[in-house]
């Protein structure tokens, strides 16, 4: 199980397996849903800077809820629907553990 979480790039030192709560997973799902809504809004709206600022804030909250281990790499941005789907799939896999 620990290997699965590491494969998903979750930082198991910051969130030990026993502390990985369903509530954190649900909260992370809600952040991804809000980011997805903003991405759709951005593509149809004209206030892109405000929307991007809101997305950055939600992305930061997402990564705080379930800390990831990126090593020396920069955290991935979630500014496209494909990345949102990938992250949602990861959360679904974690839920199944």
Q: What is the pTM of this model?
A: 0.74
For 33, the domain range is 2-96
Instruction: Provide the number of structural domains found in the chain.
Output: 1
What's the CA gap between 3 and 6, in Å, rounded?
A: 5
Query: What is the C-alpha separation between 33 and 12, in angstroms, rounded?
Result: 24
For residue 31, the domain's CATH number is 1.20.142.10
pLDDT of residue 96: 74
The pLDDT, as a whole number, for residue 16 is 56
Residue 30: predicted pLDDT: 95
- What does pLDDT average to in each consecutive run of 10 residues of the chain (97 residues)? 64 60 87 92 78 90 78 74 88 78
Q: How far apart are CA 11 and CA 22, in angstroms?
A: 17
């Amino acid at each position: 199980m620990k290997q699965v979480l590491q494969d998903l790039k979750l930082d198991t030192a910051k969130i030990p397996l026993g502390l990985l709560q369903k509530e954190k997973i649900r909260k992370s799902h809600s952040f991804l849903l809000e980011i997805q809504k903003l991405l759709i809004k951005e593509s149809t709206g004209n206030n892109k800077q405000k929307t991007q600022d809101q997305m950055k804030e939600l992305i930061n909250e997402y990564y705080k809820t379930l800390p990831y281990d990126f090593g020396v790499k920069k955290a991935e941005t979630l500014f496209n629907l494909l990345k949102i789907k990938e992250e949602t799939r990861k959360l679904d896999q974690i839920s199944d553990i």
